[in-house]
């Protein structure tokens, strides 16, 4: 089974080609991705625990949803598509910031992503796809901060980078 292609980009997020997802991670090539963070009206953030058999970072806790844009697909469309597929709901999303990061994993794969971060608010039921998500929970921003200090190895690499920025944005806006 071949995985869908990812969009290869340069450091300015300009497309330079496409490549099958696993190959891009094996070669560690910079590609476009997105991370969705969802909070509820109480300011608690919805986290997911990645399914144990994911190709990397299996069993780790992270933001609500993350994935890759398909060739020809803009970031908002991709984010709404994957939020519905992974978590079983959709909600309005706003792109807040982007960042690049590189992380090498023990299995030989490398995440080298230009990551677009989106934020949404949602208060309804969550029905995650068990093939993607092992568990989910809502935590306050302070509970997440405490968790990151007490158990940093339980969270994905990109979550450690994106969470402080998104939390600062949420708090500045007055949702915590």
Provide the CATH number for the domain around residue 76: 3.90.79.10
- Specify the number of domains making up the chain: 1
Domain that residue 32 falls in: 5-173
Task: With beta carbons less than 8 A apart as the criterion, state whether 85 and 132 touch.
Answer: yes
Per-residue confidence of the chain (176 residues) as pLDDT tens digits?
467 899 999 999 999 999 999 999 999 999 999 999 999 999 999 999 999 888 777 799 999 999 999 999 999 999 999 999 999 999 999 999 999 999 888 888 899 999 999 999 999 999 999 999 999 999 999 999 999 999 999 999 999 999 999 999 999 987 44
Q: What's CA 95's distance to the chain center, in Å?
A: 13
- How many of the other CB atoms lie within 10 Å of CB of 133? 21
73 has catalytic annotation: no
**Looking at the whole model, is its pTM more than 0.85?**
yes
**Catalytic residue among 113, 132, 146, 171, which?**
113
**Catalytic residue among 65, 66, 86, 111, which?**
66
113 has catalytic annotation: yes
Q: How far apart are CA 57 and CA 167, in angstroms?
A: 22
């Amino acid at each position: 089974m071949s995985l869908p292609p990812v969009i290869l980009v340069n450091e300015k997020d300009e497309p330079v080609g496409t490549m099958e997802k696993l190959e891009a991670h094996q070669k560690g090539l910079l590609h476009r991705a997105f991370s969705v963070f969802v909070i509820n009206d109480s300011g608690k953030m919805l986290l997911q625990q990645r399914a144990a058999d994911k190709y990397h970072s299996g069993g780790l806790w992270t933001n609500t949803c993350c994935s890759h844009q398909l060739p020809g697909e803009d970031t908002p469309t991709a984010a709404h598509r994957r939020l519905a597929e992974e978590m079983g709901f959709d909600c309005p999303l706003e792109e807040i910031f982007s960042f690049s990061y590189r992380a090498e994993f023990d299995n030989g794969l490398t995440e080298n992503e230009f990551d677009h971060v989106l934020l949404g608010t949602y208060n309804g039921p969550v029905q995650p796809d068990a093939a993607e998500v092992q568990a989910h929970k809502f935590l306050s921003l302070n509970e997440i901060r405490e968790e990151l200090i007490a158990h940093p190895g339980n969270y994905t690499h990109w979550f450690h980078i994106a969470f402080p920025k998104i939390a600062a944005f949420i708090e500045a806006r007055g949702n915590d």
